[in-house]
Structure 1
Amino acid sequence: MKRTFLLLAAAMVLALPASAQTTTTAPAATQLSVGHRRAAEALLTATNSEQNITLNIDQMLAAQLAQNPSIKAVEPEMRSFFAKYMSWASLKEEMVQLYANAFTEKELQELTKFYQTPIGRKTIEQLPQITAASMEIGQRRVKEHLPELQQAIAEKMKK
């Protein structure tokens, strides 16, 4: 069960936008100007961050339940855990700080304008499917070549 929670947590981290993965620690709580904060919040709104986080949680839990039906009994506890620690309400402030630390107010405004264009909207709509498909490609490649890795590890362990 502990392994399942760790896998879900790792999957959630991988599901975050690439720009949110550039740091391994929580962003420092710096004092933001009102404009900079609003620009970061506008970008997060334009990119449907709240909906995407909720969707990612649902998808990760569904995938875990499909792979391991025995955990169905603890699904309510898992949902409660993720609602508490991975929901938009719990992540929003850190995400605002993260984006504000990564981009200037002007850059945030430009990104928001882009995501409000037709190609920006299409990017937002397509990115979850592209990300899921790329993860499937990676998983398939690892699975296809796993014997090679296992052999290399076995040979190394013999030495």
Structure 2
Amino acid sequence: MKKLLLLAAGLALAAPAATAQTTAATPSAATPISAGQRKAAEDLLAATDSEKNLTATIDRMLASQLEQNPGMKVVEPEMRAYLTKYMSWQSMKEDMVQLYAREFTEKELKELTKFYQTPTGRKTITKMPQLMAAGMEIGQKRMQEHLPELQQAIAEKMKTQAPGGEVK
């Protein structure tokens, strides 16, 4: 059960990164967006194949997690149902439109869309899921390689802690 919760948490945290390329905080619902800005955001998300890329990223992440934890295969249908309900393009589209419309001006959105319609932009869209997956693998490898360092630091810190969290 603990592995299932970790898998769900990992998927929930990683999936939005597949389409949201900004690192800004969650936009405020109080900030109104214009109809033109909304349309420009929708056009950008369509030009970047956001729906297709989000679906492919979720599929890859789930397959990777199931490969790493074969015992979780039995709950794959439940995980897919959960991801479809909460992480699918249909469930996230409006939030993504709002996010992009608040982070970029209408002019910027149109410029981005224009770029993604160029050969270099199309190549970027095609390569981005592979690059993101490879980047995540690099990060995971680096974390695993240096995990003993973190474990040692935590163990040393815990030795100095009294019961209840006070420093000795």
* Shared fold (TM-score, shorter chain, > 0.5): yes
Distance 1:36 1:67 in 2: 42
Give the letter aligned to residue 8 of structure 2: F
Within the alignment, does 1:146 sit opposite 2:121 as a pair?
no
Displacement after TM superposition at 1:31 (Å): 4.1
| Residue pair 1:46, 1:112 contacting (<8 A) in 2 also | yes
Would the alpha carbon gap of residues 66 and 149 (structure 1) be closer, same or farther in structure 2, given more than 3 Å must change? same
1:138, distance to aligned residue in structure 2 (A):
1.2
Higher-Rg member (1/2): 2
1:9 to 12, 18, 34: 12
1:79 aligns with 2:80: yes
Tell me how far 1:29 sits from its aligned partner: 6.4
Q: Map of 1:1-159 to 2, 5 A cutoff? A: 1-19=4-22, 21-23=23-25, 25=26, 27-28=28-29, 30-159=31-160
CA contact (8 A) 1:47 1:115 kept: yes
Q: Label 1:113 to 1:34 Cα distance change in 2 as closer, same or farther (>3 A).
A: same
Flag the 1:86–1:27 CA change in 2: closer, same or farther, 3 A: farther
Which stretch of the first structure deviates more once superposed, 131-140 or 106-115? 131-140
Taking the aligned partners of 2:145 and 2:82, their CA distance within structure 1 comes to 34
TM-score after normalising by structure 2: 0.86
Distance apart, 1:119 and its partner CA: 0.8
Structure 2 unaligned regions, length at least 5: 161-168
Q: Kindly, what percent of the aligned residue pairs are identical?
A: 62
Structure 1 unaligned blocks of 5 or more: none
Q: Distance in 1 between matches of 2:10 and 2:159?
A: 30
**1:29 touches 1:97 (CA, 8 Å); kept in 2?**
no
Whether contact under 8 Å (1:30, 1:97) holds in the other structure is no
Aligned residues: 157
Kindly indicate which of the two structures has a greater share of residues assigned to helix: 1
Structure 1 residues 26 and 77, CA gap change in structure 2 (3 angstroms):
farther
SS at match of 1:17: coil
Question: What is the TM-score of this pair, normalised by structure 1?
Answer: 0.90
AA in 2 matched with 1:43: L
Matching residue's letter, 1:104: T
**Structure 1 residues 39, 116: CA separation in 2 closer, same or farther (over 3 Å shift)?**
same
Q: Which amino acid aligns with 1:8?
A: L
In the TM superposition, what is the alpha-carbon distance from 1:33 to its structure 2 partner?
A: 2.6
Residues 102/2 of structure 1: CA separation in 2 closer, same or farther (3 Å cut): same
Structure 1 residue 11: deviation in Å?
A: 2.4
